[in-house]
Amino acid sequence: MPKPKPILPTIGSPADVRALRPAQVTALAEEIRTFLVDSVSRTGGHLGPNLGVVELTIALHRVFESPRDTLVFDTGHQSYVHKLLTGRGDFRRLRHRDGLSGYPSRSESEHDVVENSHASTALSWADGIAKANEVQGRDDRHVVAVIGDGALTGGMAWEALNNIAATEDRRLVVVVNDNGRSYAPTIGGLAYHLDTLRTTQGYESVLSWGKRTLNRSGPPGRIAYDALHGLKKGIKDVVAPQGMFEDLGLKYIGPVDGHDEPAVERALRRAQSFGAPVIVHVITEKGRGYTPAEQDVADRFHAVGRIHPETGLPVAPSRFGWTGVFADEIVRIGRRRPDVVAITAAMLQPVGLAPFAAEFPTRVFDVGIAEQHAATSAAGMAFGGLHPVVAVYATFLNRAFDQVLMDVALHRAGVTFVLDRAGLTGDDGASHNGMWDMAMLSIVPRLRLAAPRDEATLRSALREAVDVDDAPTVVRYPKGALGDEIPALEDVDGVDVLARHDGAGDAATSVLVVGVGAMAACALETGTLLAAHGLRVSVVDPRWVLPVPEALVKLVGEHDHVLTIEDGLVDGGIGAHIAQRAGEQGITTPVQCVGIPRTFLAHATREQLTGSLRLTPQDVARDVLAALDGR
């Protein structure tokens, strides 16, 4: 028999998907899984989530007509299959500069709507789009939001559901992609409720057996079927797992096997026919069809680097990184401080709290995708006599700013926020660069923020942070491997002096170079380059950058020119605050601030971003020399 021709290369748009015969749909699903494993193993990316939604995404595009019908993917890391079905089959540079984004992207396709990769937002987007359709009389289209069970732990999703349920005639379908996981097993009351729904899906198969008995055996089968139907209804009346949604006034369909494409299609067509808000509950398996992912309990395949597709093992083992140092040090702190507890928002493994949870299981709290709740709950714990350490990615603290300001800082709560992946993170794109935290947090009264430069300063910053019991403290560090240790020549009232260059005599222009956190290595090299031009240079690292240390302000007044280098926003950043504090004390030394401009950055490596932003030592040194020449 001749080998069937591949189907995936023939898919250029959703219309091609709708034209497939049922047998071709099954073959397409297998081809997509093979393609994903092969492609993502070469580039890195979100493998597990996409393997789990293959049949679901195919069914969505067979039932609905994107872009007339709007598809909104919550978080968006499960959109690879959607990209393939909408004509984007070149994954060779996935999550690399000039390649496909790892999330939906409006610049890529008219089929992409929401490119924010922060969770729990899709239902609000869908509610708004559906309202716009209603107001403008567009009653020929649907809005479909695909949201994971993990994202439903976020309060914003329930605010949206509360509004969605208030109408009876908006064409809005909410697909709950229930795999029991986000980055890790989904936790909380919602997870328990959905688990109840999963365990009761056998009702439909029992009823189906009764129907088959009826077809085969006449009246006895009818009796069996009626009895089973009554049993099913009676049990549902007792357990009523779907009541959570139906009590809101939302129609509910499911649970549906998310890997039975025809069944998913039938459920979606039924939802489509209602012409009103409806929940479709689809049960999927994260990592479906790829044995290493199916057998993995630590969810290592949620997002991967380059891996060997046969085994799932990394091509190049990761070097010991910043997160590993935090993981080790917080356990050490926990051993001597029984009042220290840890909080995370559905990211126990990624932020390094798994070892703490293993040693102190009653002292770690995973609140789900609920950063706001995490911050205010931490304030409550501090009031109760504990010292909470809230560990999240830097970009996600943005979501809890009001709580940091009004619940933690206003109440002088001793809470430590540990911000992983601060600064330029690169390949996840605009929504994941942790570049906002220092400028944002700089306006919070009494807040102290540390930006360690290496392993030793990270460990000491953590120890100092948990000793503060009357104000919020923040410790931020970048993504990836640790660099070399950068020792201090001396400590000047809390400010580390990293290097001194004498320059061309005492009359040489003196420059103070301030390296913030991970930019300390750049500051050191910049100082060397400036000294080669005869300048007298001091390179310092304040370690605790907020509030601006008085010793640093004093050093500003002792130099002719000051350069600050940071991997955060330059507008309102640390350099700007140093200049402001110096000005308040009558110091007129020019402060040249180098950092990230106020813009959204496309996905690229950290090295590519620092190059394009002129954050390399060579570029920074040239800019300082140009500024000095222009004086």
Residue set of the binding site: 77, 117-119, 149-151, 179, 290, 371
Q: Are 384 and 448 in contact (CB under 8 A)?
A: no
Nearest CA among 160, 73, 159 for reference residue 109: 73
Q: Are 556 and 586 in contact (CB under 8 A)?
A: no
- The active-site residue out of 286, 476, 536, 543 is 286
To which residue do tokens 């509030």 refer? 547
Quick check: bond before 445 cis, omega within 30?
Answer: no
Q: Give the torsion through C-alpha atoms of 146, 151, 152, 158, to 10 deg.
A: -90
To which residue do tokens 């923040």 refer? 474
How far apart are the C-alpha atoms of 440 and 403, rounded to whole Å? 13
- The active-site residue out of 31, 115, 261, 371 is 371
Instruction: Extract the annotated binding site for thiamine diphosphate.
Output: 77, 117-119, 150-151, 179, 290, 371
Tokens of 211: 């129907």
- The active-site residue out of 181, 363, 399, 453 is 399
CA distances from 122 to 31, 126, 133, 406 (A): 28, 6, 16, 27
How far apart are the C-alpha atoms of 435 and 570, rounded to whole Å? 10
How far apart are the C-alpha atoms of 411 and 601, rounded to whole Å? 35
The H or E element that residue 433 is part of is none
How far apart are the C-alpha atoms of 207 and 227, rounded to whole Å? 10
Instruction: Extract the annotated binding site for Mg(2+).
Output: 149, 179
CA distances from 554 to 6, 99, 217, 492, 593 (A): 70, 47, 94, 10, 18
> Is there a catalytic annotation at residue 399?
yes
> Is there a catalytic annotation at residue 286?
yes
Helix 322-336, helix 455-466: angle, nearest 10: 40
Quick check: bond before 185 cis, omega within 30?
Answer: no
Catalytic residue annotation: 286, 371, 399
